[in-house]
């Protein structure tokens, strides 16, 4: 990947050493540089975001590590420029990360970054989340600012392994989203959502995530995906209300 673009990369904050091991921090710095240069030029991140790349994006994503088990297989849907999936892969070299993104210009950037940083446990998939339904499951399915929870369930839960969970980064409206999604949580046979505040000593405000497991790992709801694809969204909503 070219370094020809001249743009100032923000300095590394001391908090970065709390989430990136000493051997991983140079990779995080390199990724920050690529975001501030190629990422801006390609329209993957706004130029006004460059001064706050670390606190608003990298650290905010890296603290997701607190909710990811050791050696987990992670799927990040709607990866965009690699947030949070690519950051998680840098912070946690023990996990295997699959980045799912439908847009070519974004997957091209992700593939170039993965090669540049030598992240051999990261796979980039160009496509939508539902393209992977029925093909593979993961211990953690994550996302950042992709969709309201009720839609996210339909995209993410078919990818969640029986003992796994959806772990989505959310904002302050997370509790309202949970209440709005109650019927969908029942339809998908999900367990009770857990709201978690991550990175309390790293970022302010802390990163808010919602964790949604299966209610019964022996009776997961993902086979409903086949039926849902043949129905209209209006039918889905009515069925969820009637369940």
**Tell me, what's the pLDDT at 219?**
85
Contacts of 100 (CB under 8 A, 6+ apart): 75, 76, 77, 78, 79, 125, 127, 128, 129, 131, 132
Residue-wise pLDDT tens for the chain (243 aa)? Answer: 554 444 567 789 999 999 999 999 999 999 999 999 999 999 999 988 888 899 899 999 999 999 999 999 999 999 999 999 999 999 999 999 999 999 999 999 999 999 999 999 999 999 999 999 999 999 999 999 899 999 999 999 999 999 999 999 999 899 999 999 999 999 999 999 999 999 999 999 999 999 999 999 988 866 554 444 443 333 333 333 333
Is 106 marked as binding a ligand? Answer: no
pTM, entire model: 0.87
Rounded distance between C-alpha atoms, residue 210 and residue 142, angstroms: 10
**Tell me, what's the pLDDT at 49?**
87
**Tell me, what's the pLDDT at 231?**
38
**Tell me, what's the pLDDT at 11?**
85
**Tell me, what's the pLDDT at 51?**
87
Residue 223 near residue 39 (C-beta atoms within 8 A):
no
Domains of the chain, each with CATH number or no CATH: 65-242 (3.40.50.150)
Burial class of residue 126 in the structure, from the number of CB atoms within 10 Å of its CB (0-12 exposed, 13-18 middle, 19+ buried): middle
Strand runs labelled E in the chain:
73-77, 96-101, 122-126, 138-144, 160-170, 194-198, 207-213
**Tell me, what's the pLDDT at 121?**
97
Rounded distance between C-alpha atoms, residue 176 and residue 132, angstroms: 29
Is 83 marked as binding a ligand? Answer: yes
């Amino acid at each position: 990947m070219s370094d020809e673009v001249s743009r100032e990369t923000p300095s590394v904050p001391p908090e970065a050493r709390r989430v990136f091991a000493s051997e991983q921090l140079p990779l995080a710095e390199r990724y920050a540089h690529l975001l501030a240069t190629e990422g801006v030029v390609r329209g993957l991140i706004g130029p006004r975001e460059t001064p706050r790349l670390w606190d608003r994006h990298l650290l905010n994503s890296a603290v997701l590590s607190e909710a990811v088990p050791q050696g987990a297989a992670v799927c990040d849907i709607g990866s965009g420029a690699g947030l949070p999936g690519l950051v998680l892969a840098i912070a946690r070299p023990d996990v295997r990360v699959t980045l799912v993104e439908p847009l070519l210009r974004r997957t091209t950037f992700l593939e170039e970054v993965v090669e540049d940083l030598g992240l051999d446990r990261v796979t980039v998939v160009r496509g939508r989340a539902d393209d992977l339904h029925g093909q593979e499951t993961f211990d953690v399915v994550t996302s950042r600012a992709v969709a309201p929870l009720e839609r996210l369930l339909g995209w993410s839960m078919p990818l969640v392994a029986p003992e796994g969970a959806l772990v989505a980064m959310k904002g302050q409206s997370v509790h309202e989203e949970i209440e709005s999604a109650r019927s969908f949580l029942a339809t998908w046979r999900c367990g009770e959502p857990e709201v978690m505040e991550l990175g309390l000593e790293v970022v302010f405000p802390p990163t808010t995530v919602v964790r949604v497991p299966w209610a019964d790992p022996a009776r997961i709801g993902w086979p409903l995906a086949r039926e849902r694809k043949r129905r209209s969204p209006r039918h889905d909503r009515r069925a969820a209300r009637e369940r």
